[in-house]
């Protein structure tokens, strides 16, 4: 029985899994968005979000803890210099998983995982639409198009000198 065993092994040994998650986390930090399978993205989310929380506190110990997980100096520098500044006021939920469909070869469910604060399209406030006009019948729509398409030009009237 698998009571309370929630960890996804991803079909890999522990060392392979740790190396893969570390490399994926470095790629996510450097590129801000990566494409992967849904299972790997969910495992990566559990791996990288505590590191992002740790990066909010820029101390020597937190840098050492993050470096021990990532093993990449450039990713750690990027994380503490740029990303931690952007996520400083966010209480959690630093990543977003968006499903993109199935892979052509093996039909694996694909997605991309991204850092929430780095997607400009999602960050914009959604514009609230006003009430739309009611739909007109086809006859009145064609009549309205005919009147707007061909504007009537009036000829100037000649003034008579009486």
Q: What is the pLDDT of residues 114-134, one digit of tens each?
A: 999 988 887 666 545 566 666
pTM: 0.73
Average pLDDT score over the chain = 86
Going from the C-alpha of 26 to that of each of 19, 20, 59, 88, the distances in angstroms are 11, 10, 20, 20
Q: In residues, how long is the chain?
A: 162
DSSP 79: I
CA dihedral 34, 17, 25, 58 (to 10 degrees): 170
Q: Provide, rounded to the nearest whole percent, the portion of the chain with pLDDT above 90.
A: 69
Measured CA to CA, the distance from residue 55 to residue 84 in angstroms comes to 6
In this prediction, residues 35-43 reach a mean pLDDT of: 97
Measured CA to CA, the distance from residue 85 to residue 114 in angstroms comes to 17
Domains, the chain, ranges and CATH?
A: 12-136 (3.90.1030.10)
pLDDT in tens, 49-82: 999 999 999 999 999 999 999 999 999 999 999 9
Q: Among 19, 40, 45, which residue's Cα sits nearest to residue 103? A: 40
User: Sheet harboring 95-102: ordered strands across?
Assistant: 33-37, 109-115, 95-102
């Amino acid at each position: 029985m698998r009571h309370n065993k929630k960890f996804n092994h991803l079909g890999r040994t522990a060392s392979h899994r740790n190396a893969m998650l570390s490399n994926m986390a470095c790629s996510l930090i450097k590129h801000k968005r990566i494409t992967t399978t849904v299972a790997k993205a969910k495992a990566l989310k559990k791996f990288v979000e505590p590191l992002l929380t740790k990066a909010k506190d820029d101390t020597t110990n937190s840098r050492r803890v993050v470096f021990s997980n990532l093993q990449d100096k450039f990713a750690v520098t990027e994380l503490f210099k740029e990303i931690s500044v952007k996520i400083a006021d966010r209480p959690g939920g630093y990543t977003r998983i968006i499903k993109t469909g199935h892979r052509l070869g093996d039909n694996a469910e694909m997605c991309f995982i991204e850092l929430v604060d780095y997607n400009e399209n999602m960050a914009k406030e959604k514009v609230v639409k006003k009430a739309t006009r009611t739909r007109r019948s086809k006859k009145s729509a064609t009549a309205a198009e005919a009147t707007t398409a061909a504007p009537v030009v009036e000829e100037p009237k000649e003034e008579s000198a009486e």
